[in-house]
Structure 1
Amino acid sequence: VYLTDADRTSGSENPAYTEWEEQDSLLCTWILSTISSSLLSRFVRLRHSWQVWEEIHNYCFTQMRTRSRQLRSELRSITKGSRSIADFIARIRTISESLMSIGDPIAHRDLIEVVLEALPEEFNPIVASVNSQTVIISLDEL
């Protein structure tokens, strides 16, 4: 805030600091204007733009991590059930794409494994055939 001790004593602030504070305030206002009103209460206590940005990052990271856990849990527990094979694989593909969109992709090999493990016993011959192949097949080939 002050350049020297004499400035501190006289109360004369550094003009560059004052300009920075004004710019930071404008930036903070701009960032806050882009936030949904339902989330604004999380940010009103923050004074500087870097604090707002960090809180946005933390909030989004928490949301993405929670979503990733939900999607991965769904993948672990998914079964074909009464769905057609096409619908079953489409659901797995949707989950996989959702994971990819939040930066947590699932490996293709793991995805094929999810499909094979979730199939009922009537598909055991197909599962055995796929497992005996040396090349990993795609979801479309499955």
Structure 2
Amino acid sequence: MDASVAIKVALHEPDSPIAVAAFRAQPWSAPDLILSECANIIWKRCRMGDITSHQAMQAVELIETMNLYVEPGRRLIERAVQLAIALEHPAYDCFYVAHAEQLGVPFLTADKKLIGKVRASDATNIEVMSLDDYAQENGL
């Protein structure tokens, strides 16, 4: 899973109920980049006035306590760059793809652009799932 899903657990967004259900259903894993990305999203939402500083810190607490195994990015950098080149997509998103590939598990994301690129490419054979896919597959 990536930050686009994790942030939906910490902040009220469209599809938050699906993201929460996914987190409750099983343990998840992500590259350590997820923490930086979530922190930046929380900061941006606070700066834009979408949430208060108190809500921002509550979101941080939720992120810190999620049942999420965090993998060091160093182990993924080479494959992430290979995927970024092949997919013509930012490398930071490709860390998540490389991580799912390494574990041999489906990749859950709300990033529609990334979903399209992964599905259209033969650069990787991982299963990429949108939140809608997850909801359908799990009867939500």
Larger radius of gyration: 1
Could you state the TM-score of these two structures normalised by the residue count of structure 1?
Answer: 0.21
Could you state the TM-score of these two structures normalised by the residue count of structure 2?
Answer: 0.21
- Which structure carries more helix by proportion? 1
Which is bigger in relative contact order (C-alpha 8 A, separation at least 6)? 2
